[in-house]
Amino acid sequence: MPNSSGELTESELQELVEHVSLSFFNRPFLHQAKINRRMTTTGGRYHLTDHHLEINAHFLQPQYHDELVGIIKHELTHYHLHLQNRGYRHRDTDFKLLLKKVGGSRYAPDIGLRKKQNPKFVYKCQHCGQKFKRVRRINVRRYACGKCGGPLRLVKG
Ligand SMILES: [Zn+2]
Ligand SMILES: [Zn+2]
């Protein structure tokens, strides 16, 4: 039974992974696909120890279906190459060629899951009083106020 949000369940995910595996790799996926609800910046992960795949729960929503298939192909590329004792790491030629062949995603698609960095430094324009927040320290001798061109001063950081 599909749940109300339209998000894939773990057994539907398992079926999809098995299906993608047969149709694009001509090989069966014989291990487990699991949902990971704590992943933020990665789409999925392949585990070398017990060969299971984890997929970021965010991509199980219907609007991310294409991205999900791209992630599954990426993780299956690790999976099949590893099981065949071929180059399964990102830098390996086997990996690059097979990923390209099946059309897998190279990186986790950015759907705004990356945590926002908190600005640590606050600068204030000494001329107009405008405040600027920055994650990193800036050189106040090289940067001026974006509004009026006045000199900046660090007020917090
Ligand atoms: Zn990878
Ligand atoms: Zn200013």
pLDDT of 51 higher than 60: yes
What's the 25 CA to ligand 1 centre distance in angstroms? 16
Residue 138, pLDDT > 70, answer: yes
The ligand minimizing its distance to the Cα of 96 is 1
Segment 60-108, tens digit of pLDDT: 999 999 999 999 999 999 999 999 999 999 999 999 999 999 999 887 6
β-pairing, 53-56 with 33-36?
Answer: parallel
pLDDT at 134: 87
75 is catalytic: yes
What are the DSSP E strand ranges found in the chain?
Answer: 33-36, 44-46, 53-56, 121-125, 131-134, 152-156
Q: Are 18 and 29 within 8 A, CB to CB?
A: yes
| Active-site hit among 12, 18, 54, 75 | 75
- CA 118 to centroid of ligand 2, rounded, Å: 23
Is residue 35 within 8 A of residue 13, CB to CB? The reply is: yes
Selected residue with higher pLDDT from 2 and 55: 55
pLDDT at 110 over 70: no
CA of 128 to the centre of ligand 2 (A): 4
Class of the CATH-defined domain 10-102: alpha beta
